[in-house]
Homo-oligomer: A and B are copies of this chain.
């Protein structure tokens, strides 16, 4: 019996997009059909060649190529979007062809989010600005620990590269979900080229518990997208997040007494 590969289309071929494409190219479960980038650069070349492979996969298109018939003529099972907030405007047409969508975009406007949510009746959509496994594990584990140790003081430390101006969206989300005032309890470290580190510190009178996640290469986002794609392929419709997946896996995997 043939094990059919999952066909993937990727939005975005910048620094992160290239790394994500590379992860999908290296995974045998997936077939990268095309990559759509903002500019016309490298038009009709292959992402695989640009990443140093000999074979031809991931034909490069431009966003300008994406018209109504694009998704019919270039069908994929799942679109993975690491481009920009603008990608959302192509989702409707893709959903119309039954294509599922994974979005890792962090800077959507409220209207974009609304558009994204409206697709949940047409196809399966997974939306997570931070798509790494580790960060989502921290998000769920910290909520449980807060319930187990309600008197613990909690602080969040996030470390990123010097030029990241805004506070980590992930850190803000963790603060929000734990009911912590972000101005007081999120501590941002900006030094050198740190890719991304999040630490949640639980302090009790005589002990501390620390949950730490560190990405040292943006390829971690590609791994997260692969994890999400393997899960989403089995869903027909609905709006999901990485948290949903991890909550689901917590429920199934709590050890038996």
Binding site for B on A (CB under 8 A): 132-134, 137-138, 140-141, 143-145, 147-149, 152-155, 157, 159, 162, 177, 187-195, 201-220, 223, 243-244, 246-257
10 A-B pairs in the complex with CB atoms less than 8 angstroms apart: A133-B207, A155-B190, A157-B157, A191-B208, A192-B202, A192-B207, A194-B203, A194-B216, A207-B214, A210-B210
Contact partner of A187 among B187, B204, B206, B219, CB < 8 A?
A: B187
Q: How many copies does the complex hold?
A: 4
**Cα distance A189–B177 in the bound complex, in angstroms:** 19
Question: Which residues of B lie under 8 Å from residue A159 when comparing CB positions?
Answer: 201
- Is B157's CB under 8 angstroms from A204's CB? no
Question: Which residues of B lie under 8 Å from residue A153 when comparing CB positions?
Answer: 162, 190-192
- Is B192's CB under 8 angstroms from A152's CB? yes
CB distance from A166 to the nearest CB of B (A): 15
9 additional contacts (CB under 8 A) given A137-B209, A206-B217, A209-B213: A140-B254, A154-B191, A155-B189, A192-B202, A192-B205, A193-B216, A206-B223, A208-B214, A210-B213
- Is B213's CB under 8 angstroms from A216's CB? no
- Is A247's CB under 8 angstroms from B257's CB? yes
A204 closest partner in B (C-beta):
B192
Q: A140-B254, A247-B257 are in contact. Are A191 and B203 (CB under 8 A)?
A: yes
